[in-house]
Amino acid sequence: MPMKKEKGVLFVVSGASGTGKSTLCRALLKNFPSLRFSVSHTTRPRRPGEREGRDYYFVSPAKFQQMIDRGDFVEWAEIYGKRYGTSRRMLHKARREGRDVILDMDVQGVRQLRKQKIPAVFVFILPPSLKELQRRLKNRETEGKVALGQRLQKARYEISQAHGYDYWIVNEDVEKAREKLKAIFLAEHCRREKMSGAIEKLLVEK
Ligand code: 5GP
């Protein structure tokens, strides 16, 4: 009996800026070299240290609009006046090849994926408290143009949307949060493996 190809896991991670989401995603990518990061397109300017094609594809508003019109995005959202979108082609390719993909996405994007019933695992990273989030945001300069109050307001809104997710991780201790994200990833693989012919393989064994 031919073995069914194991399906990859689409791992979607959300959380307000300052929750440590990017650090956790990076750690997971390091732990699992076969895991791919979904590189989004954005109209926001590149920050120091960011690289085209690794962190984002940086495009002009006109190009982004053209991509929307062509239906290139499986989802897209506007955040602080800048646009962010996930390439439909990339996602389809990953699914076809059975790859694991991690996507860093805001709550608007998640809503769109859910609407389209795209199978994925949704993880929400929470700060230990709003006070702590405020402290972390104050220490960040990269998003300096957006007022702190505005970012906190957005964080509150995002947190209010967390009930639509499969898993929550409170990032109080980064080491523990990293372990939790890893555990979720591994657990989701055990679920998939069960569904992809592991039992059939045992049963046909002589
Ligand atoms: P940043 O500008 O700090 O890199 O990202 C701002 C926000 O955009 C983050 O909340 C991040 O999760 C979100 N984001 C990044 N890429 C995408 C995307 O392709 N789609 C959506 N909906 N949100 C994204």
CATH number, domain containing residue 186: 3.40.50.300
Does some domain include residue 165? yes
Q: What is the pLDDT of residue 1?
A: 38
Judge whether residue 139 has pLDDT over 90: no
Burial 75-109 (b: 16+ CB within 10 A, else e): bbbeeeeebbbbbeebbeebeeeeebbbbbbbbbb
Does some domain include residue 134? yes
77 lines ligand 1 (CB under 6 A): yes
Judge whether residue 84 has pLDDT over 70: yes
Q: Specify the amino acid at residue 61.
A: P
23 lines ligand 1 (CB under 6 A): no
Does some domain include residue 23? yes
Ligand 1 centroid to 84 CA: how many Å? Answer: 6
Torsion of CA 60, 141, 15, 118, to 10 degrees: 20
Confidence band, pLDDT 50/70/90 cuts, at residue 147: confident
- Separation of alpha carbons 154 and 151, rounded Å: 5
Across the chain, mean pLDDT equals 91
Confidence band, pLDDT 50/70/90 cuts, at residue 142: low
Ligand 1 centroid to 147 CA: how many Å? Answer: 18
Strands 73-79 and 40-42, by their bridges, are unpaired
Question: What is the reported pTM?
Answer: 0.91
pLDDT digits (tens, 9 = 90+) for 69-80: 999 999 999 999
Angle at alpha carbon of residue 67, lines to 25 and 121, rounded to 5°: 30
Does some domain include residue 76? no
Residue nearest to atom 15 of ligand 1 (CA): 105
Does some domain include residue 189? yes
134 lines ligand 1 (CB under 6 A): no
pLDDT digits (tens, 9 = 90+) for 181-205: 999 999 998 887 656 677 888 888 8
Judge whether residue 31 has pLDDT over 70: yes
Does some domain include residue 164? yes
What's the token pair of residue 76?
């897209």
Q: At what angle do helices 130-138 and 148-160 cross, to 10 degrees?
A: 140
Q: What is the pLDDT of residue 143?
A: 57
Q: What is the pLDDT of residue 190?
A: 87
Confidence band, pLDDT 50/70/90 cuts, at residue 3: very low
Q: At what angle do helices 174-195 and 21-31 cross, to 10 degrees?
A: 50
Does some domain include residue 125? yes
In the chain, how many domains are there? 1
- Separation of alpha carbons 175 and 172, rounded Å: 9
Confidence band, pLDDT 50/70/90 cuts, at residue 145: low
Q: What is the pLDDT of residue 202?
A: 85
Residue nearest to atom 12 of ligand 1 (CA): 105
Ligand 1 centroid to 132 CA: how many Å? Answer: 21
Ligand 1 atom with minimal separation from the 110 CA:
22
Largest CA distance in the chain: 66
Q: What is the pLDDT of residue 18?
A: 86
Identify whether the C-beta of residue 76 lies closer than 8 Å to the C-beta of residue 68.
Answer: yes
124 lines ligand 1 (CB under 6 A): no
Q: What is the pLDDT of residue 197?
A: 77
158 lines ligand 1 (CB under 6 A): no
Does some domain include residue 138? yes
Identify whether the C-beta of residue 125 lies closer than 8 Å to the C-beta of residue 24.
Answer: yes
Percentage above 90 pLDDT, the chain: 74
100 lines ligand 1 (CB under 6 A): no
Structural domain of residue 32, as residue ranges? 10-38+99-203
Burial 41-62 (b: 16+ CB within 10 A, else e): bbbeeeeeeeeeeebbbbbeee
Residue nearest to atom 1 of ligand 1 (CA): 17
- Separation of alpha carbons 124 and 158, rounded Å: 9
86 lines ligand 1 (CB under 6 A): yes
pLDDT digits (tens, 9 = 90+) for 86-126: 999 999 999 899 899 999 999 999 999 999 999 999 999 99
106 lines ligand 1 (CB under 6 A): yes
Ligand 1 atom with minimal separation from the 86 CA:
19
